Structure 1
Amino acid sequence: MAREARLERFAAAWVEGGLVVDVREPDEYEAGHVPGARLIPLRTVPVRCDALPTGRPVYVICAGGNRSKTAADWMTARGVDAYSVAGGILAWAASGRPMAAGLLSAPARQSPYGARRAHAGPREQFRLRARFS
């Protein structure tokens, strides 16, 4: 059974640069995600989790917590120190924490088209909360 990280523990790890894996589908991720989260859709986790580090915690997030539990179970079975984030992106957004939008996972990176990913402002965060509630 997957271990679960409560939102406060996850937030503290995120601030310290913890590795975050978002297992939602690309359109969900693009609409809003934890800044810096790496997108690995659930259906690809079994073949991609071998690329994840085994020497540090990996925080797995989805919309509400169900997919992340499944993914964390698969990762743990392969030696990854994985934690499912309780409440998922819904809880993260509802708590007023930072959100990013777009497909890139780091603010300083650029897409192949040269456009920088936009961070969600208050209006966008409201839209995201409404979409995911």
Structure 2
Amino acid sequence: MAREVDLWTFAAAWTAGAVVLDVRESVEYRGAHVSGAHLAPLSALAAALPRVPEGRTVYVICAGGNRSQWAAGRLAAAGMDALSVAGGTRGWIGTGRPVVTGSAPGAV
């Protein structure tokens, strides 16, 4: 099982400029996502691996935490410092934190 962080720990990292991968599908991402999150759909995660910044912790987020757990585990197995965000985007929204809509700032 992948390592996991709570929304408060993630929020502090996000404020400090963390690398965030959103592993939901593009239609979900366009509906609402954490600002600055890079789209890397679970269905195409392997293709995104070469573009993930090296030497930085990667925070992986999805809708609720299941897909991000799986993806963070795969990233960790590939040698990356990857953490799954517990509660996901739904939890982020539920705590009143900001989201944006529309296209990716740049897919990873």
Identity between Structure 1 and Structure 2 (%): 52
Q: 2:54 matched to which residue of 1? A: 54
Query: Once the two structures are superposed, what CA deviation does each residue of 1:34-84 show, in whole Å capped at 9, x if it has no partner?
Result: 000000000111232132123111000000000001110110011111000
Distance in 2 between the 1:47 and 1:105 partners?
Answer: 18
Distance in 1 between the 2:32 and 2:51 partners?
Answer: 24
Distance in 1 between the 2:5 and 2:31 partners?
Answer: 23
Secondary structure in 1 matching 2:21: strand
Give the AA of the match of 2:79: G
Is residue 27 of structure 2 the alignment partner of residue 22 of structure 1? no
Alpha-carbon RMSD across the aligned residues, in angstroms, is: 1.1
**Pairing of 1:1-133 with structure 2 (within 5 A):** 1-105=1-105
Give the AA of the match of 1:7: L
Q: 1:117 matched to which residue of 2? A: none
Are the equivalent residues in 2 in contact too, given 1:46–1:74 (CA < 8 A)? no
Give the AA of the match of 2:25: E
Give the AA of the match of 1:71: A
The count of aligned residue pairs is 106
Determine which structure has greater relative contact order: mean sequence separation of CA pairs < 8 Å that are 6+ residues apart, divided by chain length: 2
Distance in 2 between the 1:104 and 1:76 partners?
Answer: 24
In the alignment, structure 2 segments of 5+ residues that lack a partner are none
TM-score normalized by the length of structure 1: 0.77
Distance in 2 between the 1:105 and 1:53 partners?
Answer: 15
Secondary structure in 2 matching 1:69: helix
Distance in 1 between the 2:105 and 2:94 partners?
Answer: 21
Runs (4+) of structure 1 exceeding 2 A deviation are: none
Q: Which moved more, 1:5-14 or 1:43-52?
A: 43-52
Cα offset, 1:104, TM superposition: 2.8
Give the AA of the match of 1:19: V
Q: 1:118 matched to which residue of 2? A: none
Distance in 1 between the 2:3 and 2:51 partners?
Answer: 20
In the alignment, structure 1 segments of 5+ residues that lack a partner are 107-133
